[in-house]
């Protein structure tokens, strides 16, 4: 496998965040290593830093989801949608090389690929609300 594009790397990071949602008691780094081994793929700096970063900031990220999600409580959000939101919010708030609008657009594309038809709009709405909060804080 050659060098991954940012979109491919983001999709793998999303899959890792999703996988970790089933392994609550496992260390994030162990989940990362196990995933790479089981899927015979090479990690890269973006995947490692983003995935581990999500779990370093998970409480803050989940609080952002809670405050921005009017229609659903976090427990009622599917694991797929939650993984997408967590990844996107991490990129929006903590990745200096990912513009907010790109993080939102990529999250919506992941939701279109992996979720039901109503979820991309929901993801876009939650992330739009978080983006406004980020802008107000700057």
* Residue 114: closest CA among 65, 78, 61: 78
Q: How many CB atoms lie within 10 A of CB 126?
A: 26
Per-residue pLDDT tens over the stretch 18-27: 999 999 999 9
pLDDT at 80: 97
Helix 6-20 vs helix 79-94: crossing angle, to nearest 10: 120
Going from N- to C-terminal start, the domains of the chain cover 6-137
Helix 100-114 vs helix 6-20: crossing angle, to nearest 10: 60
pLDDT higher than threshold 60 for residue 1: no
Percent of the chain with pLDDT over 90: 78
Contact 51, 9 (CB under 8 A): no
Contact 94, 53 (CB under 8 A): yes
Alpha-carbon distance values, 65 to 29, 39, 55 (Å): 23, 30, 14
Phi first, then psi: give them for residue 52, nearest 5 degrees: -65, -35
pLDDT at 138: 60
* Residue 46: closest CA among 79, 14, 72: 14
Q: How many CB atoms lie within 10 A of CB 75?
A: 6
Per-residue pLDDT tens over the stretch 48-99: 999 999 999 999 999 999 999 977 776 789 999 999 999 999 999 999 999 9
Contact 100, 75 (CB under 8 A): no
Global pTM? Answer: 0.92
* Across 123-137, average pLDDT: 92
How far is 93 from 29, CA to CA, in rounded Å?
Answer: 21
106: helix, strand or coil: helix
pLDDT higher than threshold 80 for residue 41: no
Which CATH architecture fits 6-137? Orthogonal Bundle (1.10)
């Amino acid at each position: 496998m050659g060098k991954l594009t940012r979109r491919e790397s983001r999709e793998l990071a999303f899959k890792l965040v999703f996988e970790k949602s089933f392994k609550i008691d496992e260390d994030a780094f162990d989940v990362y290593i196990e995933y790479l081994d089981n899927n015979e793929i090479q990690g890269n700096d973006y995947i490692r830093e983003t995935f581990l970063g999500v779990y370093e900031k998970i409480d803050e990220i989940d609080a952002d989801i809670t405050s921005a999600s009017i229609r659903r409580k976090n427990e009622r959000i599917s694991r797929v949608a939650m993984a997408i939101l967590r990844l996107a919010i991490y990129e929006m708030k903590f990745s200096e090389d990912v513009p907010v609008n790109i993080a939102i657009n990529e999250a919506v594309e992941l939701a279109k690929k992996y979720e039901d038809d109503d979820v991309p709009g929901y993801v876009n709405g939650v992330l739009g609300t978080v983006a406004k909060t980020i802008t107000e804080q700057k």
